[in-house]
Amino acid sequence: MIQTPIDPTNVKKVLSFLAESRRILFITGAGVSADSGLPTYRGISGLYSNKSTEDGISIEQALSGEMFQRNPVLTWKYLAQIVQACRNATFNRIHQIIAQIEQYFEQVWILTQNIDGFHRAAGSTRVIDIHGDIHTFFCPHCDYRAQVNDLSHIQELPPKCPQCNKIIRPNVVLFGEMLPADKAYILHRELRTGFDLIFTIGTSSIFPYIAAPIIEASKNGNRTVEINPEWTEVSAYVTVKFNNPAAGVLETIWSEYLKQSVP
């Protein structure tokens, strides 16, 4: 497949944005983890596009909070696909660059839909993982909580609680569940403070809370950048649009920024 060349004019625009920015927000989605070979919810959903799972239901039904309450074994059957993908996967160059950018600006925040934990693993410190983290587990029936950094240690699926022997679950937002109130509060707090520049990378922005920061920034005349080969829900609103995969664009922008920053 022939890839669209990275527009040098757009690169220069973003460099000028960075030069005038103190607070930056990165909004990231499945496209950021694609280079790690990791399917997120939407990635797994894509495996079942326009068809049911082998259990005769949609992937959204299988991975729903309601289904977990009724039939946790069935939900874990499909959660296991995510766990399996995470076993040998790690962060990629996109995560590394975003973590490096944090060292050069007053504040860099990340709003991610991904549940892989790769932004933190790469070194980013201000991460709002709005859909949770597959590496944290809890028991809905007692106070058991656990951090499982190495998912290869999970030998039994569905995993059982060591305290009450009931099925535990990852601390992620299943379909139909509410967003975590604490993370939604942090997001709204930081959006109220404001950002000089917002990047949206590798997400179709179909969720209103993912699209809203871009749309609001556009209304207020603030600078926004989208990196996505596809046309998305926010493409019409952004200041600069790159129709390219994220890794190459970020590598180009960041290398040029560092060249200009060297005395």
- Helices 8-19 and 246-261 pack at an angle, to 10 degrees, of 50
Write out the catalytic residue numbers.
131
In this structure, the strands spanning 107-112 and 127-129 are parallel
CB 142 within 8 A of CB 159: no
The pLDDT assigned to 39 comes to 60
Which pTM does this prediction carry? 0.91
Indicate the SS3 state at residue 167: strand
> Which residues, 6 or more positions from 209, have their beta carbon under 8 angstroms from its beta carbon?
130, 179, 184, 187
**With left for phi above 0 and alpha for psi between -120 and 50, is residue 26 left, alpha or beta?**
beta
> Which residues, 6 or more positions from 12, have their beta carbon under 8 angstroms from its beta carbon?
none
Q: Which domains does the chain have, with CATH numbers?
A: 8-37+91-131+177-261 (3.40.50.1220), 43-88+137-172 (3.30.1600.10)
Instruction: List the structure tokens of 186.
Output: 């942090």
- What is the Cα–Cα distance from 129 to 110, expressed in whole angstroms? 8
β-pair partners for 227 = 201, 242
CA–centroid distance for 94 within its chain: 12
| pLDDT (tens place) for every residue of the chain, 263 residues total | 457 899 999 999 999 999 999 999 999 998 898 888 766 555 554 455 556 788 888 888 999 999 999 999 999 988 888 777 777 788 999 999 999 999 999 999 999 999 989 999 999 999 999 999 988 999 999 999 998 877 777 777 889 999 999 999 999 999 999 999 999 999 999 999 999 999 999 999 999 999 999 999 999 999 999 999 999 999 999 999 999 999 999 999 999 999 987 65
Instruction: List the structure tokens of 54.
Output: 């082998």
